[in-house]
């Protein structure tokens, strides 16, 4: 009996015209049935935000051999609309990327790319986010060659409920040494506001700007492995957000203190 082709929903945060999206689509379509639902414009760093203050416009895009749609919304919005409006059946996987720039460390909390995978996870669908660490000279071709094997691994070894896989490729993908399953690191991009002035009115305005905040990292984490030339795959759990240690230590005292008489 022929092997069943997985049905995959693809999204991103760099927008429908992004080369990383095309590379991801190209790497999947040979072994899977792929439908693309992605933002009409770039939505980087929007995190898990939803588009709720403007009407959503859905446009079908002409790509060869695939069903492709753009929506004027965030990645999480695109996944929601894909599942509720566009798709006729639930996909086997939601895959987001390939992002221009890394999403290692605590940048997962800001990333629109990772948010697309988080939304898929919330909907009970196996989900993966892919990113390339090199922002300026991004080469998606080598990263895309590794995508099918990583996707097949998740198909054969399903992620637990509430868990997504966050995959980052190192800057020099041509010299990549392998892929490590590891933990999430601590580094993230912090604000670095750049003050400028309107040329006519001289009124001030700002570009937020960013700079990398680095920390002492565990040797076995995505930040460290990426610097060593490995791709890093992190199982990120979003199904349970409670700090159980604090809850256990303080619940009784807290509840007694704040009784309303």
DSSP secondary structure, 109-137, as one string? GT-HHHHHHHHHHHTT-EEEEEEES-SSS
Find out whether 101 and 113 touch, Cβ atoms under 8 Å: no
Distance CA 6, CA 37 (A): 17
Closest CA relative to residue 125, chosen from 85, 149, 86, 90: 90
Q: Residue 48: in which H helix or E strand, if any? A: none
Taking only the tens place, the pLDDT of each residue in 139-176 is 999 999 999 999 999 999 999 999 999 999 999 888 89
Structure tokens given for 109: 């909390």
Closest CA relative to residue 120, chosen from 160, 163, 153: 163
Task: Report whether pLDDT(1) > 70.
Answer: no
Taking only the tens place, the pLDDT of each residue in 76-126 is 999 999 999 999 999 999 999 999 999 999 999 999 999 999 999 999 999
Structure tokens given for 141: 């071709």
Paired with 236 in beta bridges are 164
Place 137 in a pLDDT band, splitting at 50, 70 and 90: confident
pTM above 0.85, yes or no: yes
Per-residue confidence (pLDDT) for residue 2, from 0 to 100: 58
Question: How is the chain split into domains, by residue range?
Answer: 7-186+219-240
Distance CA 117, CA 119 (A): 5
Taking only the tens place, the pLDDT of each residue in 206-238 is 888 877 778 888 999 999 999 999 999 999 999
Structure tokens given for 166: 């966050």
- Is the domain spanning 7-186+219-240 CATH 3.40.1210.10? The answer is yes
Find out whether 118 and 33 touch, Cβ atoms under 8 Å: no
Taking only the tens place, the pLDDT of each residue in 8-65 is 999 999 999 999 999 999 999 999 999 999 999 999 999 999 999 999 999 999 998 8
Task: Report whether pLDDT(127) > 80.
Answer: yes
Taking only the tens place, the pLDDT of each residue in 180-210 is 999 999 998 888 889 999 999 999 988 888 7
Per-residue confidence (pLDDT) for residue 66, from 0 to 100: 87
Find out whether 122 and 238 touch, Cβ atoms under 8 Å: yes
């Amino acid at each position: 009996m022929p092997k069943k082709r997985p049905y995959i929903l693809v999204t991103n945060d760099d927008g429908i015209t992004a080369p990383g999206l095309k590379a991801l689509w190209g790497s999947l379509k040979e072994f899977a049935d792929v439908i693309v639902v992605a933002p009409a414009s770039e939505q980087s760093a929007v995190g898990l935000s939803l588009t709720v203050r403007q009407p959503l416009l859905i446009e079908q895009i002409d790509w060869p051999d695939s069903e492709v749609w753009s929506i004027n919304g965030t990645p999480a919005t695109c996944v929601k609309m894909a599942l509720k409006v566009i798709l006729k059946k639930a996909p086997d996987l939601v895959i987001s990327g390939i992002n221009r720039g890394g999403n290692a460390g605590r940048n997962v909390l800001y990333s629109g790319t990772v948010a697309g995978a988080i939304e898929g996870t919330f909907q009970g669908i196996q989900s993966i986010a892919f990113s390339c660490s090199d922002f300026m000279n991004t080469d998606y071709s080598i990263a895309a060659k590794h995508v099918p094997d990583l996707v097949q691994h998740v198909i054969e070894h399903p992620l637990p409920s509430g868990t997504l896989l966050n995959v980052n490729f190192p800057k020099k993908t041509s010299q990549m040494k392998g892929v490590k399953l590891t933990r999430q690191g601590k580094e993230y991009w912090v604000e670095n506001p750049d003050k400028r002035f309107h040329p006519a009115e001289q009124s001030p305005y700002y570009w937020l700007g960013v700079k990398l905040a680095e920390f002492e990292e565990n040797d076995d984490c995505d930040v460290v492995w990426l610097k060593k030339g490995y791709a890093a795959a992190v199982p990120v759990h979003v199904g349970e957000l409670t700090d159980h240690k604090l809850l256990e230590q303080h619940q009784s005292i807290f509840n007694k203190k704040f009784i309303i008489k």
